[in-house]
Amino acid sequence: MNASPRSTGSGKALLARALMPLAWCRRVILERWLRLWSLARLQEAIGHHLDPSNVILGAIELHGTRNIRFGRNAMIYPGVYLETQGAGLITIGDDVVLSRGVHIVAFERVQLGQGCMVGEYASIRDANHKLDPFSIRNADHVSEPIEIGANVWIGRGACVLMGASIGANSVVGANAVVTKPIGAQQIVGGVPARSLRQTPALDGLKVEPA
């Protein structure tokens, strides 16, 4: 004889209630240990001290020389990819947020100022392959540094390419491609990104230069 939907639902509710303490342990205790473990893994991988105020929410994929500098109070989501090659350097300022899937590649220098927020799956790369008629994969690179000012918001899926810079308090729209310098307090979007309007006056905002 089949159980009635009501009795099945009641059983699931009781089981869910019984599992709540286990769920709490996983959410509160295990996740805190995961963050601590992720911070320790990152510190070991880059070979120098990380301020404990940084919150590392999961595994970060590192490649190359791992020449990366963190400030304080960063929030780094799982799936972030950081790569440095040669003398390349990635500098992440205080209070920066890197969302899931962000890619940052530096052959020369990529600098993110204080309070920057980078949306999911955005890409910041200061190098390009040279063209080679036989093998692009094995061709050399050209590079120019990228500097992103304080309090910049880069939207989901945006690309910031070699030689670009973004002034403080600017916003880059989702899926935009930034190929040249952008001034301060600009809202940009499109491919290639162009200025749409200025950001509102930011009275009272106190952001120190990176």
Burial (CB count within 10 angstroms: exposed 0-12, middle 13-18, buried 19+), residue 210? buried
pLDDT, position 34: 84
CA distance 169 to 157: 19
Asked if 56 and 75 touch (Cβ cutoff 8 Å), the reply is no
Residues 6+ apart with CB under 8 A from 178: 158, 159, 160, 161, 164, 166, 172, 188, 192, 193
User: Is 129 among the catalytic positions?
Assistant: yes
Hey, where are the domains in the chain? 9-198
pTM for the full predicted model: 0.82
Asked if 62 and 85 touch (Cβ cutoff 8 Å), the reply is no
Positive or negative: CA dihedral 205, 207, 209, 210: negative
pLDDT tier for residue 195 given thresholds of 50, 70 and 90? confident
Q: Encode pLDDT of 127-138 as tens digits.
A: 987 777 777 777
Type of residue at 99: S
- Active-site entry in 63, 103, 129, 141: 129
pLDDT at 170 over 70: yes
- How does the average pLDDT of the chain come out, rounded? 86
pLDDT at 156 over 80: yes
Q: Encode pLDDT of 98-128 as tens digits.
A: 999 999 999 999 999 999 999 999 999 999 8
Which segment of 20-34, 177-191, 195-209 scores lowest on mean pLDDT?
Answer: 195-209
Percent of the chain clearing pLDDT 90 (strictly above): 61
pLDDT tier for residue 26 given thresholds of 50, 70 and 90? low
pLDDT, position 111: 96
pLDDT, position 2: 56
CATH of the domain spanning 9-198, picked from 2.40.40.20, 3.90.226.10, 3.30.1360.40, 2.160.10.10:
2.160.10.10
pLDDT at 35 over 90: no
Q: Tell which residue, 116, 87, 86, 88, has the closest CA to residue 102.
A: 116
